[in-house]
Amino acid sequence: SRLQATRGAAKHERFKEEHGIVKYEKEQAKIALAGAAAKRKRTEAKIIEAIGILTAKGERVSMGAVARLVGITKQTISESYRQFFPNL
């Protein structure tokens, strides 16, 4: 059973290579990475803008306040954008 699964997987990979599917998948992966990078840049710009707004108003800059202004969760900021909050 395990041997048959291995042979089937190898056959599947050969099929993908012969029909250009591997190349297509690699191109799609590049496109996805570029899109993710662009989205991250936009989000970072929104976070910087929100921090500026809070600072200008004299309000306390916190992850929760920034999250509300940007429209993302506090958890997302904490996990992915913590570098903008070095004092927290």
Mean pLDDT estimate for the chain: 94
Residues near 21 by Cβ (< 8 Å), separated by ≥ 6?
15
For the segment 21-49, the average pLDDT, to the nearest whole number, is 95
Mean pLDDT score, 57-78? 95
Statement: residue 88 has pLDDT above 70: no
Residue 87's pLDDT band (boundaries 50, 70, 90)?
Answer: confident
Q: In angstroms, rounded to a whole number, what is the distance separating the alpha carbons of residues 75 and 41? A: 18
Task: Indicate if the pLDDT at residue 56 is higher than 80.
Answer: yes
Residue 74: DSSP 8-state: H
Rounded (5°) CA angle 5-9-13: 170
